[in-house]
C-alpha cells in the first residue's frame, strides 16, 4: 500500500524569483529524497509549521532552517545560500539593526539580536511562541506571552539563562547554536548565581574543562545543548541516533550509559589522562 503523503501545498505564487524560487527548490529537493514534510521536520529537529513556512514562498525563512533542509535533502550548500540571499527579506517592516552574535557586548546589543531572532523567524505570534516554549519547558523553562512580548519589545532583560533558551526555542533557533547565545548573554553582563563549590582536596582529580567535556560527549554520540554543568549534574544533550533531547550525567557517560528514548549505547572510548 503506497505511503500517504499528506495534503498537497498550494502552488508557489512567484516561482521564478525571490522567496518563491527558493521555496520551489526546497520542495524539489525534498521530493528527490522522497520525504514528506513531517519526515523532513523530524530530521531537521524543527516543527512542521517551520517546513511549511519555508516551502510556502511568502517570506524568506531564517538561514539556519535553509541550511538544515539543504543538508538533509542533499542540496548544494552554496546554491542554497545564494537562493536564500536572493530571496530578500520581509518587506512589511524594516528589520532591527543588530550586531553579529559574536560582537554582542552590551545589554542593548543582546536585546537587539533577540528581537532580530524573532523577526528572522517570520515574526511568530505570542501564542505560537508560548506554545513552542511550553513543549520543552521541562528541559529549559516556560515562557509566558507577556514575557515574550517584553523581551521582544526590549522592555525586559532576561532573568536567567534558561529564560534565554526558552525565548530561543520560541523563535526556533537551532539548539546547536545555544552555546554561542550563552556566550553573548554573558558578555552582555548577565550571570547566574551559583552555589560556591568546596575547595578541592589534595589529590582530587582535576576539573574537566567545558571544551573537553563537550568533545567527550560528542565522542560518545551526544550533542550538548547547554554549557557544561559539572560531572554529576544532569546535562541536556541530543542523541545522534534518534535526535531526541535527554538529560545525562557526564560521570555516567564516562562509564557508559544509553539513550532513554532509543536505548542506543553512549560511551567514551578513551577519555585520556585527565579523566583517569
The ranges of the chain annotated as CATH 1.10.260.40 are 18-86
Give pLDDT tens digits for 165-222.
999 999 988 888 899 999 999 998 864 434 444 444 444 444 457 778 888 888 888 8
Give pLDDT tens digits for 226-262.
778 888 888 888 888 888 888 888 888 888 888 888 8
262: helix, coil or strand?
A: coil
Nearest-CA neighbor of 19 among 70, 61, 75?
61
Q: What is the mean pLDDT of residues 129-133?
A: 91
Give the CATH fold of the 18-86 domain.
434 Repressor (Amino-terminal Domain) (1.10.260)
- N-to-C CA span, the chain: 55
- Looking at residue 4, the DSSP 8-state letter turns out to be P
Q: Are 176 and 226 in contact (CB under 8 A)?
A: no
Amino acid at each position: 500500500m503506497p505511503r500517504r503523503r499528506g495534503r498537497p501545498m498550494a502552488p508557489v505564487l512567484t516561482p521564478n524569483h525571490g522567496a518563491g524560487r527558493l521555496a520551489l527548490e526546497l520542495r524539489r529537493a525534498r521530493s528527490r529524497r522522497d520525504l514528506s514534510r513531517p519526515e523532513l521536520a523530524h530530521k531537521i529537529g524543527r516543527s512542521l509549521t517551520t517546513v511549511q513556512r519555508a516551502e510556502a514562498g511568502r517570506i524568506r525563512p531564517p538561514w539556519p532552517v535553509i541550511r538544515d533542509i539543504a543538508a538533509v535533502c542533499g542540496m548544494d550548500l552554496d546554491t542554497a545560500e545564494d537562493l536564500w540571499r536572493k530571496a530578500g527579506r520581509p518587506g512589511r517592516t524594516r528589520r532591527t539593526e543588530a550586531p553579529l552574535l559574536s560582537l554582542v557586548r552590551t545589554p542593548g546589543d543582546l536585546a537587539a539580536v533577540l528581537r532580530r531572532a524573532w523577526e528572522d523567524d517570520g515574526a511568530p505570534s505570542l501564542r505560537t511562541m508560548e506554545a513552542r516554549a511550553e513543549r520543552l519547558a521541562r528541559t529549559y523553562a516556560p515562557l509566558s506571552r507577556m514575557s515574550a512580548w517584553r523581551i521582544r519589545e526590549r522592555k525586559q532583560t532576561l532573568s536567567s539563562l534558561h529564560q534565554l533558551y526558552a525565548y530561543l526555542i520560541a523563535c526556533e533557533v537551532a539548539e546547536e547554536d545555544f552555546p554561542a547565545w550563552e556566550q553573548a548573554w554573558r558578555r552582555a553582563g548577565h550571570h547566574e548565581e551559583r552555589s560556591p563549590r568546596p575547595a578541592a582536596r589534595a589529590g582530587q582529580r582535576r576539573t574537566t574543562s567545558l571544551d573537553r567535556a563537550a568533545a567527550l560527549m560528542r565522542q560518545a554520540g551526544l550533542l550538548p545543548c547547554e554549557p557544561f554543568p559539572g560531572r554529576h549534574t544532569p546535562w541536556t544533550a541530543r542523541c545522534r541516533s534518534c535526535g531526541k533531547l535527554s538529560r545525562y550525567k557526564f560521570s555516567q557517560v564516562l562509564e557508559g550509559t544509553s539513550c532513554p528514548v532509543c536505548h542506543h549505547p553512549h560511551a567514551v572510548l578513551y577519555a585520556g589522562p585527565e579523566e583517569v
